[in-house]
Structure 1
Amino acid sequence: MSVNESNPRQLKLLAAVRERGAATVEELAQLLDVTLQTVRRDVQRLAEAGLLARFHGGVRVPGSTTENIAHGQREALNAEGKSRIARAVAGEVPNGCSLILNVGTTAEAIARALLRHSGLRVITNNLNVAGILAANAQCEVIVAGGTVRSRDRAVVGETAVDFMRQFRVDIAVVGCSGIEADGTVRDFDLREVKVAQAILAQGREVWLAADASKFNRLAMVQLAELSRFDRLFTDAPPPAPFPDLLERAQVRCVVAGADATGDPTP
């Protein structure tokens, strides 16, 4: 069974470990009210995805805040949650608008959810997004120039930053690698963050798309404060302290429910 079957229990397990820094298998079984065998199976999958590190009798948060997990692993992790987020975002993107989509597997899921839209003009620094949306004859795709990062086909660098600054769009949609408890939105690659920051400046509305595994996940480079965003799209209710942070920042939080079919579940 692959990581793409990640479920709310596994995301809750991940959040619990991140909150504590480390936990034993017994503690997690009690917290989640499941068997030790179930916890061990979930831990195995999350460790294979690079989101947890195992030690004898328990798990801890991985030590590195400098490098993201592989694109293929990220694509598989919580794929259903990302699909719900994508449908929720697509449900609020009107036909005939302009938008920017940046790099990441959630952005690619959003691109797939936009394939039936018409009259879109999409600017992206993600060659995967461009390839997906090129199949929609009713969508004009504009691709940034710059350095292609081979591991995930992201276009980064100063050329991409300068390219993004030429546009002003209705909606700028970005993803991230982590949202920390101090309200900072973070990622791993400074070059990627520089492009994302340029994208934020070009949107009349700015949306953040982040599945629940991103809460309390550590990453090295600050992209923005939560208050920089108008909306957050996620797939599960944010844990404490994020509801208070979002309210203070006046960010509308859209939680895409399991039955999301284009209309977001508030």
Structure 2
Amino acid sequence: MSLTYEDRRMTILKQLEIEGKVQVHHLSHLLGISTETVRRDLDRLEKEGKLRKVYGGAVKMRMELVEPPFLKRSQMMMKEKTAIGKLAASLVQDGETIMLDNGTTTMEILPHLKDRANVTLITHSVPILNLALEMFKGKIIFVGGEMNVDYQSATGSLTDELYDQFKVNKAFLTVGGITLTEGITDFHLAEAIISRKMMRRAEEAIVVADHSKFGVSTFVKISRLEEISMLITDPGCPNEWIDSIEALGIEVRISN
């Protein structure tokens, strides 16, 4: 029995959500229809604002290029970020050294570690440093360098070199977006470079990301998904994403 447009539409959009892009010939084989029918479906979906056609297929419309300011981001997905932060903090053992990047989700880890005097925190984030100075009882190491007012963090070659001096148990990383094809991405080249360094200097690289980051590709690639150790997200993350990421051998934890 041939598939209706609505059936085909659902399959195409599901592939887009997971892969970030689709190819005409692959969809033709997957759906058992001609390439001409696929192209007509893609034309229709483009008019609906669901995708953007490119040579040989189509890509998602959600290509985010501009990151909201830190304060605005800190107010987005607050419930999800708090729960993710609590779960991430529960993974930190006494005596461990951790790195927190310059993100609003990693910032939510700190309140759940405030009484952990035997934990060492390393960060280049000014907001996380300020919060740690207020509440954290463990050791704090600030990785300095050229201060970027827009990012509210230290970046550049000096920061990169200073991170080279450390080897830690866990690095907790935020991202601008996550796709299977592009991996984990960020809005800023300078921050992406620091994130890569943090991953290399940690025994475990743990990405903390709420469900809004999935299927989104941003300006610069941090790494392939296979290079991270664990992903922590919230219950809003679609099961298809969880299954696809676990199939890569990555542990996925879901917050309450």
Interval of TM-score (by shorter of Structure 1 and Structure 2): 0.7 to 0.9
Give the aligned partner of residue 228 of structure 1. Answer: 227
Q: Does 1:127 align with 2:153?
A: no
Gap change, CA 1:229 and 1:64, over 3 Å in 2 = closer
Q: Distance in 2 between matches of 1:173 and 1:103?
A: 10
Q: Does 1:104 align with 2:109?
A: no
Q: Deviations over 1:195-251 (max 9, x none)?
A: 110000000111110111110122010001111111111112532642233122211
- Supply the AA of the counterpart residue of 1:164: Y
| Structure 2 unmatched ranges of 5 or more | 1-12, 21-47, 52-59
Q: Distance in 1 between matches of 2:99 and 2:136?
A: 18
Q: Distance in 1 between matches of 2:69 and 2:137?
A: 32
Aligned length: 207
After TM superposition, give the deviation of residue 183 of structure 1 in Å.
5.4
Give the aligned partner of residue 89 of structure 2. Answer: 90
Q: Distance in 2 between matches of 1:128 and 1:205?
A: 23
Give the aligned partner of residue 238 of structure 1. Answer: 237
Q: Distance in 1 between matches of 2:136 and 2:219?
A: 39
CA contact (8 A) 1:86 1:110 kept: yes
Q: Distance in 2 between matches of 1:85 and 1:93?
A: 13
Q: Distance in 1 between matches of 2:244 and 2:64?
A: 22
| TM-score normalised by the chain length of structure 2 | 0.73
Matches within 5 A, 1:113-262: 113-136=112-135, 138-182=137-181, 184-236=183-235, 238-239=237-238, 241-257=240-256
Q: Deviations over 1:146-202 (max 9, x none)?
A: 122213412111111111111000111111010024251000110110011000000
Secondary structure of the residue aligned to 2:247 is helix
| Structure 1 unmatched ranges of 5 or more | 1-14, 22-56, 258-266
After TM superposition, give the deviation of residue 65 of structure 1 in Å.
3.4
Superposed CA RMSD in Å reads: 2.6
Gap change, CA 1:132 and 1:152, over 3 Å in 2 = same
CA contact (8 A) 2:87 2:255 kept: yes
Gap change, CA 1:95 and 1:220, over 3 Å in 2 = same
Q: Distance in 1 between matches of 2:180 and 2:226?
A: 13
**Superposed structure 1 runs of 4+ greater than 4 Å apart:** 18-21, 57-64
Q: Distance in 2 between matches of 1:254 and 1:104?
A: 19
Gap change, CA 1:183 and 1:136, over 3 Å in 2 = same
Secondary structure of the residue aligned to 1:249 is coil
CA contact (8 A) 1:178 1:216 kept: yes
Secondary structure of the residue aligned to 1:135 is helix
Q: Greater CA radius of gyration, 1 or 2? A: 2
Give the share of equivalent positions with the same residue, in percent.
22
- Supply the AA of the counterpart residue of 1:192: E
| TM-score normalised by the chain length of structure 1 | 0.71
Q: Distance in 1 between matches of 2:61 and 2:239?
A: 21
Q: Distance in 1 between matches of 2:110 and 2:223?
A: 23
Gap change, CA 1:137 and 1:237, over 3 Å in 2 = closer
